[in-house]
Amino acid sequence: MFFLQHRGSYKIKLYERPDMGGQMQEVSDDCPNVQDRLRMSDINSCNVVDGHWLMYDQPNYRGRPYYLRPGEYRRYSDWGAASPRIGSLRRITDLN
């Protein structure tokens, strides 16, 4: 059985270009609609500073989910996506 519980802060830095380039947005809570909130829909790289996250290719936590643990993702293919289009993201607060 795998059990993870994260206590503390969450932080992810999202970048519009590969290799942490271009415009950057920092997020520390759930975001049901990336386009509306951050004014960016293409995320080409990111840095998960703290916590574990799920990204979805559609708004409102729909579509294909991508699991991200702390670390750098230099291009969208690093988290398993076929395109840089991200619709929503949320923190994983309990995983068991």
Q: Is residue 70 part of a domain?
A: yes
> 40: domain range?
11-95
∠11-14-69 over CA atoms, to 5°? 50
Q: Is residue 59 part of a domain?
A: yes
User: Across the chain, what does the average pLDDT equal?
Assistant: 92
Determine contact, residues 45/75, Cβ cutoff 8 Å.
yes
Please report which confidence band the pLDDT of residue 36 belongs to, taking 50, 70 and 90 as the band edges.
Answer: very high
Q: What's the token pair of residue 15?
A: 């970048």
pTM (predicted TM-score): 0.88
Q: What is the mean pLDDT of residues 2-10?
A: 64
DSSP of 30-94: -BS-HHHHHS--B--EEEEEES-EEEEEETTTEEEEEEE-SEEESSGGGGT-SSSB--EEEE--E
Q: How many domains does the chain contain in total?
A: 1
